[in-house]
Amino acid sequence: MSTELPESAVPPPTGAGESAPAPTRRTFIATSTAVGGAVVASGVIGGSLLAAPEEVAAAEAPPSSHVSLTVNGTRRTVTVDNRTSLLDLLREHLGLTGSKKGCNAGACGACTVLVDGRRVNACLTLAVRLEGAEVTTIEGLAEGDRLHPLQQAFIDEDAFQCGYCTPGQIVSGVGCIQEGHTGSPEEIREWMSGNICRCGCYVKIVRAVEQTAARK
């Protein structure tokens, strides 16, 4: 079988006196792309187009802010990612691990702390919004070696088993007492309903809050 091209498919020879045919649009685009890519590559390899390391770091770093707040009576100033929750600020930046990360969605109450005397879920509260605020955690309730009355009541009433929810329960109970929502066991249950105890110690928890409120 012959492999010769038909005469019509063979391009005519270019004579010495003839000029080269003009480049087609496709040839021009392909050549321009190849040359441009080579120039860019050589620039990157040579370092002329590389950003400085500090510029790269600045571009990749998340936005952060300074925040000053009083935690358990001590003024603290920290720099945090703007997305940092109060719970992560307390646990990861300040080492106050008493407030627990349970659901991390504001449903269990294990992270309850007091902000300016008001009960909040620390996992849902942005730290950068608390400039100048006063925060009280479970670590700040006792006075030296003297437990807060509600902490002592939890011990006296055996109001916990695993203890994971206990810090949030106690802080929430303190808030409940300060708010005056302790007129009856039913009222305490209603105003403490945001704190879940998977061990089912609700009866003893209510009793501890009720007795502490009565002694106040």
- Mean pLDDT, range 33-38, rounded to an integer: 55
Residue 57: pLDDT above 70?
Answer: no
Could you report the per-residue pLDDT of 200-215, keeping only the tens digit for each? 999 999 999 999 999 9
Residue 97: pLDDT above 90?
Answer: yes
Distance CA(142)–CA(194), nearest Å, equals 23
What is the pLDDT at residue 60?
Answer: 72
One-character DSSP codes across the chain: ---PPPGGGSPPPPPTTSPPPPPPHHHHHHHHHHHHHHHHHHHHHHTTTPPPHHHHHHHHSPPEEEEEEEETTEEEEEEEETT-BHHHIIIIIS--TTS--SSSSSSS-TTEEEETTEEEEGGGSBGGG-TT-EEE-GGGTSBTTBPPHHHHHHHHTT--SS-SSHHHHHHHHHHHHHHT--SSHHHHHHHTTTS--TT--HHHHHHHHHHHHHH-
What is the pLDDT at residue 40?
Answer: 45
Could you report the per-residue pLDDT of 150-185, keeping only the tens digit for each? 999 999 999 999 999 999 999 999 999 999 999 999
What is the pLDDT at residue 216?
Answer: 79
pTM, whole model, 2 decimals?
Answer: 0.73
Residue 9: pLDDT above 60?
Answer: no
Residue 44: pLDDT above 50?
Answer: no
